[in-house]
Amino acid sequence: MIFTDVGSFPPNAFGLYDMHGNIWEWCQDDWHNNYIDAPKDDSVWTSQSGNIKMLRGGSWDYDPEDCRSAYRNDLNLDSFHNNIGFRVVCSGAART
């Protein structure tokens, strides 16, 4: 397995770094099998039980074609795996 330092590759078209293939990232949204009745305003979708959450992005131990932001998975909040984490977002922060 080969690891790289954060920011080793150029940002994507949105200016975001390291978006795919490192770890699955927890999302605030509850898991839903499809997008029927999903919010139209991109707000968080938490209408289910709340214990099964959405994961996005794939991880280092998945096939490369699954390492994309549209790739979804579900997992119970009580679960732990070495390929799952979260992304810290700070509004207006400069990259240092």
Complete DSSP assignment for 50-63:
SSEEEEES--TTS-
pLDDT in tens, 54-79: 999 888 888 888 888 889 999 999 99
d(CA 1, CA 68): 19
Residue with tokens 């679960």: 79
Ramachandran region of residue 78, left (φ > 0), alpha (ψ -120 to 50) or beta?
alpha
pLDDT digits (tens, 9 = 90+) for 14-31: 888 877 778 899 998 999
| pLDDT score recorded for residue 15 | 84
| Gap between the Cα atoms of 30 and 72, Å rounded | 12
Residue-level pLDDT at 76? 93
* pTM across the whole model: 0.72
